[in-house]
Structure 1
Amino acid sequence: MTEVLVKADAAQALTDLEAYVAAEHRADLVKQVREKIDELGIQYIYYQFVSVTGRIVGKGVPSDHWETIADRGIQLVYGSMANLYVDRYRNYIGYGPEASELVAIPDPETFCQLPWDRRVARVFCTCFRNREEPTEPGSYLTADCRGNLRRIHAQFQQEHGLQLRHGCEPEMMWLKKGPDGQPAGGVTKPNCYHIDQFEELRPVFLRVIEYSKAMGLDMIQGDHEDAPGQLELNFSFDDALRTCDRLTTYRQICAQVAREFNLIACFMSKPFMGVSASGCHHNLSLWRGGDETIKSFGFDSLPGLAGVFTYNKGGENTFLPVPEQHKTKPGPIGLQCIGGVIEHLPALTAIGASTVNSYRRLWDTGLWAPVYADWGFQNRTCGLRVSAPGRFEYRAVDSMVNPYLMAAALLKAFDDGIKRTLDPGEPEHRNLYEAMEAGKQVKKLPMSLGEALERLAEDEVIRLAMPGEMYPLYHWYKRDEWEKFLSTTSNWDVEMYLDCLP
């Protein structure tokens, strides 16, 4: 009995980092990665994680050192979580020069070969405080948005027995590059669903699809959207963390394809006025049960670990209508989740529309921008729409979103909706603008980044999606972005005021 207690005390004494490295089955996964390294001829590995803005950061290490890095991790300054960016007072955002270094531990299940250079692989990491920190050494780094999402989702699953599965619609624009390397307009004309314009970009999107399949993305459909050079290429929905990893991977793939074709892969939401912006609608559902299946995409041997190619399938979709109650309206859990999102939509907007430029999308009238906190069936004038039985589309999110922050925030909104049994009211079938002219009262979304940040500051529920250091870091970074915009003279100022007087 004494020996058991001693072992229990020793287990309790482990830091988060030590427990993570010693987790059951991880040693086997580390060995599987070594086997893949040898099988595929991998010479170099990118160890990467995601900053507060969704940027991919990290280090590269020769593959000979895999076992050492798997055990000890890589170290970077804490400020890498804020892109080592300085605010307008020349202070590094989040962490000063005296701060220690984080430890990033690779997640072996995310190991995958890069199809454009098969000598190189990538692996996502989970981040921790330094082992030598005087306080909370080796604890989870709360500025790690990816790690936060994993833990928040695990807590949600434990409390509700429900898994968030979602898909996204990653619109972006392919721009021509001028002699100076700067954008020189879209590759194609802004003709929505036009096959000829789609065909003009065929070499580009086929290369994207080729690379995407090789990195575990089950590409399902695509089209030319209604802005210059704008494509939407979709992949299958899945567990929230894997969907976020795949969107991050998709962005890396597009950047590489752009280099190969001497183009610019533009994820900026609104580079052109008068045409649609690039959104990233999230299609959401909560599930009980199901099984994990591996998609091989025709490879004789997977170019990475099985986790990269794994999808959740089957189970009970709790957002489906209850047949004896309604043919199309979501079931009780789905309605409560819609209620939670509508309740917190102003704060969520600070995450889904995270840049100054995001609000050009909301101000450019007549282009179906989701400006109001309401819901309906196939109603694109609402912030949420039931796009098909069993899921609803969250529309107040654009192409610049940090998907890990967005998924975590939506989970907190869902949690609040379920716990408080929030009622979203009846769906709006009318054009919402016409309904408002007829007297309907609807809450409007924030119409600037500054206003959205104020709504986020007031919302304790959504701030729970940004635990510990994450919310202060996000607020500092985004408030500085807003203030830099306010303190900048632009071409608009010159054109508007230069000849105003006398």
Structure 2
Amino acid sequence: MTGTLARSAVLSDLEVYVTAEGRAELVKQVRAKIDELGIKYIYYQFVSVTGRIVGKGIPSDHWEVTAERGFQLVYGSTANLFIDRHRNYIGYGPEASELVGIPDPETFCQLPWDKRVARVFCVCFRNREEKVNPGGHLTSDCRGNLKIIHDQFKTEHNGLHLRHGCEPEMMWLKKGPDGKPAGGATHPYCYHIDQFEELRPVFMRVIEYSQAMGLDMIQGDHEDAPGQLELNFMFDDALRTCDRLTTYRQICAQVAREFNLIACFMTKPFMGVSASGCHHNLSLWRGGSEVLNELHNDPLPGMAGTFSYLKGGENTFLPDGEVKRKPGPIGLNCIGGVIEHLGALTAIGCSTVNSYRRLWDTGYWAPVYADWGYQNRTCGLRVSAPGRFEYRAVDSMVNPYLMASALLKAFDDGIKRNLDPGEPEERNIYEAMEAGKQVKKLPMSLGESLERLAADEVIKSALPEEMYQVYNWYKRDEWEKFLATVTDWDTETYLDCLP
């Protein structure tokens, strides 16, 4: 990835970034792509605290100037420019300055549904005219934070880096005459090819667009909720996986418009069937090299960085002892770190009020207990294959950049403190508890998980400075709005309970 967010004694973070070695050549390569592909307009996008894609659109004629000078947008856009229940803008007031968004040239890619338009991901900085830290890294930029945190992790652990893949479940819902959901587009039959086939026009369009934007799609199936699909893409370097999950969501939203459906990433729209998770499969590596995967695109509809994958090297999670399933020492330390901080991590992976419907609706394999095991879906972590483990306390609403940053901090703590996760649990966790095993439970509400996050300095460090302030403000307000709301359940339960 181009650029560095390291501070300089002379230059601001922003100036260091735009003058980084090799960036000028990448800017020229993007201009060549613009001309080759006939691009007229560019979305300059970054990701808000909740994972929403925000930014600005600018004609491609202004690429060079924007690549150097960036664009400006209010600081509060990092919190969706939403107001809290007291009518205050979350994170930043109207008197705050405007951020500067600087594009990462290697993420430039044409939109396959309108080939006149392209997108590029950006990193956010403080305004150049700020009195304090002008041009400094904007700490409420979750994508920029991940770049910094991952670079620090690599430096402190002799080149160790996170590669991960995710399993993005979501639901395709029918749209009623009023534009609101009218049930799933298919029946809730897990792995049924007939139900998968019913959504074939939809998922084939998703796959077509995904391959055109650098996602190497590897497998998919119909899951066990109405209209629920899981379409997976190849794992990679942490930042690119986060960018690709964000891109995947953008693609699904577009395909939904084309088919007059709703692409639903809400975690639990229906009780009594499975929710939508987003399990993360994690491993730490050393070495490796970039390999271009053109995905049958000719010409390549974007920069090589968008279509490259980090391959090879040493997977430090692979078993190195007699027990062929048991991760090596680094992997065990990382599992120990995650178990140690699972309560606070839940505030990031299960980030909405609705997320906890998934944990309360028992019998659907949602993780509730802080333990680990081999292929054991009753635990918060499972070793899903030699060389990786699956983090399960994460759902479809996750902000992937915050999640990756928080997991890196848990790994860092586990390695530095040599944390031992204990022996893997091979029993059903509920049977083990009946037999007397003491197991910690995950937080069971957004409010409780935010309390666990507030008390955990390790995971809080994944949300540095303004990032934690904005996230905590946004999510506590979300929880308080829920508590201050009269729901259908209230009226159904209490309306005629007396006399």
SS in 1 for 2:295: coil
Q: 1:456 matched to which residue of 2? A: 453
Choose 466-475 or 324-333, whichever is displaced more: 324-333
The answer to whether 1:166 aligns with 2:164 is yes
The answer to whether 1:397 aligns with 2:394 is yes
The letter of the residue matching 2:183 is: G
The letter of the residue matching 2:242 is: C
The match for 2:282 among 281, 284, 296 is 284
* 1:273-300 C-alpha deviation (Å, 9 max, x unpaired): 0000000000000001111100011222
Cα distance in structure 2, aligned partners of 1:30 and 1:150: 20
Cα distance in structure 1, aligned partners of 2:207 and 2:36: 24
The letter of the residue matching 2:10 is: A
For 1:471-482, list aligned pairs within 5 A: 471-482=468-479
Q: What TM-score, normalized by structure 1, do the two folds share? A: 0.97
Q: 1:209 matched to which residue of 2? A: 207
* 1:295-339 C-alpha deviation (Å, 9 max, x unpaired): 0112222100000001000111000001x4321100000000000
**1:252 positional shift:** 0.1
For 1:91-490, list aligned pairs within 5 A: 91-160=88-157, 161-322=159-320, 324-490=321-487
Cα distance in structure 2, aligned partners of 1:31 and 1:467: 34
SS in 2 for 1:13: coil
SS in 1 for 2:291: strand
The answer to whether 1:78 aligns with 2:75 is yes
Cα distance in structure 1, aligned partners of 2:150 and 2:297: 31
SS in 1 for 2:9: helix
Cα distance in structure 2, aligned partners of 1:118 and 1:170: 26
The match for 2:86 among 89, 99, 108 is 89
**1:42 positional shift:** 0.1
The letter of the residue matching 1:366 is: G
SS in 2 for 1:12: coil
Cα distance in structure 1, aligned partners of 2:57 and 2:366: 40
Identity of aligned residues (%): 83
* 1:222-278 C-alpha deviation (Å, 9 max, x unpaired): 000000000000000000000000000000000000000000000000000000000
**1:11 positional shift:** 6.6
* 1:194-222 C-alpha deviation (Å, 9 max, x unpaired): 00000000000000000000000000000
Cα distance in structure 2, aligned partners of 1:325 and 1:422: 21
RMSD: 0.8
The letter of the residue matching 2:267 is: S
SS in 2 for 1:151: helix
Q: What TM-score, normalized by structure 2, do the two folds share? A: 0.98
The answer to whether 1:42 aligns with 2:34 is no
SS in 2 for 1:48: strand
Cα distance in structure 2, aligned partners of 1:101 and 1:360: 37
The letter of the residue matching 1:464 is: S
**Paired residues, what number?**
492
Cα distance in structure 2, aligned partners of 1:136 and 1:150: 19
- Shift of the 94–11 alpha-carbon distance from structure 1 to 2, 3 Å rule, reads closer
Q: 2:4 matched to which residue of 1? A: none
Cα distance in structure 1, aligned partners of 2:8 and 2:118: 33
Cα distance in structure 1, aligned partners of 2:391 and 2:297: 35
* 1:480-502 C-alpha deviation (Å, 9 max, x unpaired): 00000000000000000011110
* 1:107-126 C-alpha deviation (Å, 9 max, x unpaired): 00000000000000000000
Cα distance in structure 2, aligned partners of 1:11 and 1:465: 22
Q: 1:3 matched to which residue of 2? A: none
The letter of the residue matching 2:203 is: F
SS in 2 for 1:42: coil
The letter of the residue matching 2:459 is: I
Cα distance in structure 2, aligned partners of 1:11 and 1:427: 46
Cα distance in structure 1, aligned partners of 2:30 and 2:123: 17
Cα distance in structure 2, aligned partners of 1:402 and 1:140: 19
SS in 2 for 1:103: strand
SS in 1 for 2:341: helix
The letter of the residue matching 1:287 is: W
**Regions of 4+ moved over 6 Å:** none
The letter of the residue matching 2:300 is: L
SS in 1 for 2:425: coil
Q: 1:55 matched to which residue of 2? A: 52
Q: 2:489 matched to which residue of 1? A: 492
SS in 2 for 1:234: strand
**1:462 positional shift:** 0.2
The letter of the residue matching 1:45 is: I
Cα distance in structure 1, aligned partners of 2:299 and 2:19: 28
Cα distance in structure 2, aligned partners of 1:247 and 1:393: 17
Cα distance in structure 1, aligned partners of 2:350 and 2:210: 26
**1:12 positional shift:** 3.2
* 1:380-418 C-alpha deviation (Å, 9 max, x unpaired): 000000000000000000000000000000000000000
* 1:434-482 C-alpha deviation (Å, 9 max, x unpaired): 1001100000000000000000000000001001100011000000000
